[in-house]
Chain A
Amino acid sequence: MSEKDWLDTATKKIRFRPDRKAVRRELEAHLEDMREASGLEEDAALRTMGDPEAVAEELGRVHKPWLGYLWRASQAALAGAAVLYCVMLGMLAVRPGYSYRVLPGMGLYNYLQTDVDMLDPACVIEARELPPGAAFETGGYTIRPERTVLRQVSGTDGPQWNLYIELDITLSRWEEPLDYWFALSGVRTGAGTPCGMHRMSACWGFWQKCGLEFEGLPEDAEWVELDFGYGQLRRTLHIDLTEEAEA
């Protein structure tokens, strides 16, 4: 019988694989120690080790497989709980300004700027807080405008009017797949001219804030409407540019 056969036989009744490998490694090191110290040939060394079948019986009795699997299961449960905790923490970490958040399915942290106040105040000629607009639901999400600011800024092509909207998004029920539910499907202004969208931060997750900014609003525009979602999911957010927010 070769050393490999002896080790295979002696460990064959240890059902939990990681245990079997560890015990095999230990016995292998033992054999090496013995041969080195005693100068015994392989055959003689293996005879000293004893009958591998008997060793297998004894080791199999000590190493019960369910213990190993139970240990594995508890580790997996712990890891799952840790991941969930990190995801929750990531969601809670979202706040105006520079913030980090978890993107489900990607496992990455994303760097987002969602604060209207990040713009250099020296560029702002005039700023006006507007009533944020009514909350609405689409695709299981509740979208609540939290802050709406109209401001005139000094751009490279002269002064222009920008609109900043900060949204709080909550998943209330899981109804539609995330894909495209939040895509802005249309922007209209009271002056009939669509404005260009300057920035839209990624909006994923169960709870988060999202900052949208539109540049170059027509000067005579009285309202702006944003369409969220397509088809039956489409909801319109109407923002009156002539009103002032309550102090």
Chain B
Amino acid sequence: MAKKEMGSTSMLVLALLKEKEMYGYQIIEELDRRSEHVFQMKEGTLYPVLHGLEKDRLIAAREAETVKGRVRRYYAVTEKGLRVLEEKKKEWNTFSKAVTAILAGA
């Protein structure tokens, strides 16, 4: 995934993973909780995004087995991922301010 093509889903995922490493199901739950049910992401959307970010080395994965013997993949942000996240945040803030300014006059 090229930087320019990176969508808002990727940005949200990176922002969540910046705090702590998480596995797929946890990411969906956390997004849902924090956005107060606005972002209810489908698994079909999340995993291609996660794997794309991993391929671009913005996040890294490790596998760990749960006590029940379930193998989970935990994702964490890389240095490169943190840099991209910062850029994306700046872009988003500019965009958001612009939209707010226009809507304020409507």
Contact = CB atoms under 8 A, between A and B. Distances in A.
Interface of A: 10, 23, 25-27, 29-30, 32-34, 37, 48-52, 54-55, 58-59, 61-63, 67
B51 A59 contact: yes
A62 B51 contact: yes
Contacts of A63: 51
B83 interface: no
Contact of A34 (B25, B44, B47, B51): B25
B72 interface: yes
Interface in B30-53: 42-45, 47-48, 51-52
Contact of B42 (A25, A48, A61, A67): A48
A25 B44 contact: no
B55 A62 contact: yes
A26 B44 contact: no
B71 A25 contact: yes
Contacts of A67: 55
Contacts of B23: 29-30, 33
B48 A58 contact: yes
B51 A50 contact: no
Contact of A27 (B43, B52, B55): B43
Contacts of B45: 50, 58
A33 B25 contact: yes
Nearest to A34: B25
Interface residues of B, number: 17
Given A33-B70, A50-B42, A62 B25 contact: no
Interface in B54-100: 55, 70-73
Contact of A49 (B42, B51, B72, B73): B42
Contacts of B73: 26, 29
A26 B25 contact: no
Q: Which of B43, B72, B73 has the most CB of A within 10 A?
A: B43
Contact of A10 (B44, B51, B55, B72): B44
Contacts of A61: 48
B58 to A, nearest CB: 13
5 contacts: A30-B25, A30-B47, A49-B43, A62-B48, A63-B51
A49 B43 CA distance: 5
A54 B43 CA distance: 11
Contacts of A55: 43-44, 47-48
A133 to B, nearest CB: 63
Contacts of A59: 47-48, 51
A58 B71 contact: no
A145 B48 CA distance: 67
A58 B46 CA distance: 10
A67 B24 CA distance: 23
A65 to B, nearest CB: 13
A92 to B, nearest CB: 39
A21 to B, nearest CB: 11
Contacts of A25: 71
Given A30-B24, A30-B25, A63-B51, A51 B70 contact: no
Given A49-B42, A62-B51, 16 more contacts: A26-B71, A26-B73, A27-B47, A30-B25, A33-B23, A33-B70, A34-B25, A37-B25, A50-B42, A50-B43, A52-B44, A55-B47, A59-B48, A59-B51, A61-B48, A62-B55
